[in-house]
Amino acid sequence: MRVTCAVVGGDTHDLELDAEATYGDVLAAVGLSTQEASVLVDGSPVPEDRPVDADSVRVLRLVKGG
């Protein structure tokens, strides 16, 4: 499945994911962990273990820097 992932304040990624991928897999594909970012679908956060059901998502980084 193809998903477009826009990281807020960063790059947009075109991802090719397995059919059973979760939103946690989306974060991993763009190099982020579930502790530092959330996936938004239609402006609302979704759980990391939910199967991907959207073809376009936004990722909001909660933690940046150190």
How confident is the model over 5-16, as a mean pLDDT? Answer: 96
How confident is the model over 58-63, as a mean pLDDT? Answer: 91
Nearest to 25 by CA among 43, 50, 60: 50
pLDDT digits (tens, 9 = 90+) for 13-45: 999 999 999 999 999 999 999 999 999 999 999
Q: What is the pLDDT of residue 43?
A: 95
Mean pLDDT of the chain: 94
**Signed CA dihedral, 7, 11, 12, 16: sign only:** negative
Q: Which domains does the chain have, with CATH numbers?
A: 2-61 (3.10.20.30)
